[in-house]
Structure 1
């Protein structure tokens, strides 16, 4: 029997004791299953995902759920960077443990069990210190975090102080709405694509915006402007965003339609 550890919110442990672990995560290729990691001699490596999961996962403490799987159980194993490339491999549970243990640096490796975990397979549940593991990426310690809009996490602890110490040239704060609208007006009709895309970049850093003033850009002849319009308004809570995205979902250019599909993907 192969031993793995699954990290989850401490609040989930009563349900796991009663009904097991649900297969509610998505792995490579959309595989539904349970993320876990082999139990290695090193405590730090075994629980390496703790701090990273705490950044994105549920609030509160995390617990470690040890599970025993049949050696012949097929699992998906590989480095997390291989997930997007489709390079993770299907191995038996025993082979997965051997593969990860043989790595000179197993940080960042993951295992997906493509089914739910039953209560009979749960070996034990215990509390774990919340300071083990890496954050951002392995070996990130000592490297200045990126504060650009794509890398930052809204509401992350200490995020505002980090951005104040290391401001990013494209990080904001965005100019006021009247200033951005004046730039769009000055770009002309239909408008210079570079000037419009620059204004849309700053609109994308806002939580709300003037949808009615930007709707005309859905008919701009440059598809890059229409694509950037999708990304600019997709996070707004302003009424009319859904209707604008519906219009752009029927755009003749595939890049624009793909952008709408990406922002609407659950």
Structure 2
């Protein structure tokens, strides 16, 4: 029997003891299953995913669920990044343990069981220290963090200070509203399209905005400005956004109309 460890919120422990680990769909296309990792001689490597999983929030901390699987149980095995490329391979559970144990550096590897784990396969559930393992990716410590929109974790510990210390040239943090409005005013009338598009790019990162000052751009002669205006205000909770988008939905330029349709599509 192959032994694996599955990390989950402590709040799930009573249910797991009673009915096993349910299969979830997460990152493997339409497949539903359970992520786990082989129990290795190294405690740190066995529990390497602790700190990374803790970044996404837990209920009562994390616990380690030890699972015994039949050696012939088919599982997917590979590095985390292999998941998106579809190059993780299907092997028996015993072979997955052998492959990972033979690696010089198994950090970032994972095993996916394509089904739920039954109650009788749960060997034990115990507490786990919340300080083992890596965050973001192996060897991330000492590497300049990326603050682009795709890499940053909104609401994460120290996220705002990190973005202020290492601003991304495209993804912010955005300049203050008064600075952006000054740039819009300095662009002239009707306004330099490049300057206006850049200012609207930064406005799109805000939850609310000065719709009264920017609404006039819906009549700007450059369709690129009008399209950027759609993307800028789409996520605002400011009153009047719906009426502005209603007007732009009938814009003479197809790119503007398609932008409105895109932001309104669920």
TM over 0.5: yes
1:7 corresponding residue in structure 2: 7
Residue 143 (structure 2) pairs with residue 167 (structure 1):
no
1:155 corresponding residue in structure 2: 155
Contact 1:20–1:117 under 8 Å retained in 2: yes
1:204 corresponding residue in structure 2: 204
2:55 corresponding residue in structure 1: 55
Q: TM-score scaled by structure 1?
A: 0.77
Task: Give the 3 Å change call, closer, same or farther, for CA 27–173 of structure 1 in structure 2.
Answer: closer
- RMSD of aligned Cα (Å): 3.7
Q: CA deviation at 1:158?
A: 2.9
Residues 186-201 of structure 1: pairs in structure 2 closer than 5 A: 186=187, 192=193, 194-201=194-201
Q: How many residues align?
A: 254
- CA distance in 1 between counterparts of 2:46 and 2:242 reads 44
- CA distance in 1 between counterparts of 2:46 and 2:141 reads 19
- CA distance in 2 between counterparts of 1:101 and 1:173 reads 43
Q: CA deviation at 1:161?
A: 4.1
SS, match of residue 106 in structure 2 = coil
2:78 corresponding residue in structure 1: 78
Q: CA deviation at 1:138?
A: 0.3
From the CA coordinates, give the structure whose radius of gyration is larger. 2
SS, match of residue 91 in structure 1 = strand
Task: Give the 3 Å change call, closer, same or farther, for CA 202–39 of structure 1 in structure 2.
Answer: same
Residue 135 (structure 2) pairs with residue 135 (structure 1):
yes
Contact 2:184–2:191 under 8 Å retained in 1: no
Q: CA deviation at 1:36?
A: 0.8
Residues 1-266 of structure 1: pairs in structure 2 closer than 5 A: 1-164=1-164, 166-170=165-169, 172-177=172-177, 179-180=179-180, 183=183, 186=187, 192=193, 194-209=194-209, 213=214, 216=218, 221-222=223-224, 226=227, 230=231, 232=232, 236-238=236-238, 260=262
Q: TM-score scaled by structure 2?
A: 0.77
Structure 2: gaps (5+ residues): none
Q: Deviations over 1:105-127 (max 9, x none)?
A: 11111111111111111110000
- CA distance in 2 between counterparts of 1:13 and 1:184 reads 55
Structure 1: gaps (5+ residues): none
